[in-house]
Amino acid sequence: MLEFFIKRPVTTIMFVLFWVALGITAFPRMNIELRPDMDFPMITATFTHPGASPEEVEMQILRRAEEAISEVAGLNRLSSQAFENGGFVFAEFNIGVNINDIASEITGKIDALANDFPDGMQRPVVQKLDVLQEPVVDIVMHGESPIRIEQFVRDILSGQITGIQGVASVSVFGARERAVRIEVNPELMAARGATITDIVSTVQQNNLNMPGGRIESGWGSHNVRFVGEFDTIDDIANLGITTSEGGNFMLRDIATITDYMRDAETGARFNGNEVVMLSVVRANDGNAIQISNAVERNFERWEALARNYFGQDTEFQMEMVRDTSLAIRAETQSTLISILIGVFLTVLTLLYFARNIRTTVIASVVIPASLLSGFFFMDFSGFTINAMTLMAMAAALGTLIANAIVLIESALRMIEAGAEPEVAAVEGTKKAIVPVIAAAGTNLVVFLPLVFMGGIAGQFMSHFGMTVVWLTILSLMFSFTLTPMMIAKVLRVKKTKKEKVKQSDELPWFKSWFDFQMKRPGIVILLSFFILIGSSFMMRWVGSEFAPNTDVNEISIVARAPMGTPFDRTVEITGMIEERINRFPEVDFVSARIGDRGTQNIQMSVGLIPREERRLTDRQLVQLMLPELADIPGIEIQISAGPNMGMGGDLTLHITGFDDEIRE
């Protein structure tokens, strides 16, 4: 087999280029992310009951839902949260369960409780939860009324954005829907003998479009519909009210009717100003960088659509204020540059010690060929380009170069002994087969078990371990195809005896150190033992965390006011947080989303100036900001470096019981 690849260099080159081409083709199709795709088996069931208090939601809805969900197999943790007008149940299951089947089962159990839930409750929404899913791009809009912006988003912009490949949804904060407000005068209503029930029922009965059947004739048929929806405010004002006592009057006689908007349930702020914010959320298989590029390409066109919608003289403005793909680009680019530097230094080191440019050329071809081919197998495995797979590439560099060096050294000795290059390539490779396979096998038995690790850590390490395994296999494949062929065609030795003697006299310090180790093995073993023990003691000063920290010029703040806090009060709290955060000169902008899963919830993103322009890191700023925010009364606050990953705090304390006062 070796002779086949050595004597047919064109075939060998085409064989290698086949895998390299597959890798180059696969690279653009792979998603680029900060971390590997992770499957968290989590389900949320969201319940909406307009007008219900948190206590009513908990007693009448959430407890019944919890009892039903608790019967599902594989449940690990169950929690719920009630707030004004609704609540949700959060269910976390064991790693490895089929989350799609679980979601279907929970949906069936929730639907079976429809008759037990209170009247007026909207249909529950059961969906899978990805705690690592975050908006790719945040777009803020201002300069027009929230009602008109909401109409523009609903009618035009939302469809434009969701049409981008990889976008799952668009979350809107701060928009206000149009609503007609009927303010009834209690004294006038009592004087007419009417009740609020009379008014509500009359408005509902007269604001309907209903099918009225079908009229058939000799030549065809016609559908009949009764159109009764109100067209104008005057139609509502002139609505006749009949009381149970027989009184008749118009609605305008006892009430003021105005064209207004619904009460605010969500809000958004940017640098202290109220805005409407759109958060573009990617799908699980979406590419954040491609989504960001698509948004940038279409942004001017969307601005033109807005000017046509609002008028050319409008003060409407739209800007993209947050782009998480920038951090992904920076981290990926930095890691790729590090890998390239590693390849360059590896080749440079080999050139220094081998003093043979031909040897260096062989190694410098084998390493990139293996790395580029590796992208195909990464894509085949469903991996993305992320910190773990790129780190695996960096870790595999040693194996890629080691196999080539062993084969080159084996053939080089035979060539120096007078053998022809082709013969040396065949015989030298045969002599080195065992050590090369042994070295590669060591890599496989070390990294292959990482692929089968369980839990959340296993989902991280499987990407790392499998990428190293693929690169090791590629290294073996090219070691017995490309490397022997290049040895036969490229490797030559033309040295005089004087040059050989000169080379043997180099690095005398290394030879002396090697001789010392061979003569005093006991001292070397004892020294190694003390180094090991000393290193173990130093581990207490080494920090530990689930994932490495990277400064991405962003700080996340999650705050929650007491349950049932009015929306206006939550806005005041948001302003207090903004005022204190803006005291730090390192802050570039502050954006806030209010009302996600309850009017008491606040999510803020603090953009920082670039790292090279500030003295403090993001973590140092977090430590300084926390005391500034801790004395704001009546809120729970969590602040962390980087985007909000929804993972909660480092320590969570659960207090259970039926008495709300005792729990508080």
Angle 649-660-81 (CA atoms, 0-180°, nearest 5)? Answer: 45
Residue 662 in tokens = 């005792």
- Pick the more confident residue, 621 or 314: 621
Residue 436 in tokens = 């090369």
Residue 591 in tokens = 């954006």
pTM of this structure: 0.74
* Mean of the per-residue pLDDT values of the chain: 82
* Contact between residue 592 and residue 268 where contact means Cβ atoms under 8 Å apart: yes
Which whole-number Å values give the CA distances from 44 to 41, 80, 393, 430, 592, in the listed order?
10, 9, 37, 60, 23
Supply the pLDDT for residue 502: 47
* Contact between residue 493 and residue 11 where contact means Cβ atoms under 8 Å apart: no
Give mean pLDDT, residues 439-443.
85
- Pick the more confident residue, 508 or 49: 49
Nearest CA-CA partner of 146 in 179, 177, 181 = 177
Residue 469 confidence class, pLDDT cut points 50, 70, 90:
very high
- Pick the more confident residue, 528 or 503: 528
**Given a cut of 60, is residue 232 above it in pLDDT?**
yes
Residue 497 confidence class, pLDDT cut points 50, 70, 90:
very low
- Pick the more confident residue, 235 or 16: 16
* Contact between residue 291 and residue 154 where contact means Cβ atoms under 8 Å apart: no
Supply the pLDDT for residue 500: 46
Angle 393-398-403 (CA atoms, 0-180°, nearest 5)? Answer: 115
Residue 370 neighbours by CB under 8 Å, 6+ apart: 396, 400, 471, 474, 475, 478
Q: Which residue has the tokens 């290193």?
A: 535
Angle 52-58-59 (CA atoms, 0-180°, nearest 5)? Answer: 95
Give mean pLDDT, residues 553-557.
87
- In sign, the C-alpha dihedral spanning 361, 362, 363, 365 is positive
Looking at residue 244, what DSSP letter applies? T
Task: Give the model confidence (pLDDT) of 104-157 as tens digits.
Answer: 899 999 888 888 888 888 888 888 876 666 788 889 888 888 888 888 888 888
Give the three-class secondary structure for 87: strand
Supply the pLDDT for residue 660: 58
**Given a cut of 50, is residue 182 above it in pLDDT?**
yes
Q: At how many degrees (to 10) do helices 387-416 and 325-354 cross?
A: 10
Distance, in Å, from the CA atom of 353 to the CA atom of 367, rounded to the nearest integer, reads 18
Partners of 270 in beta bridges: 273, 591
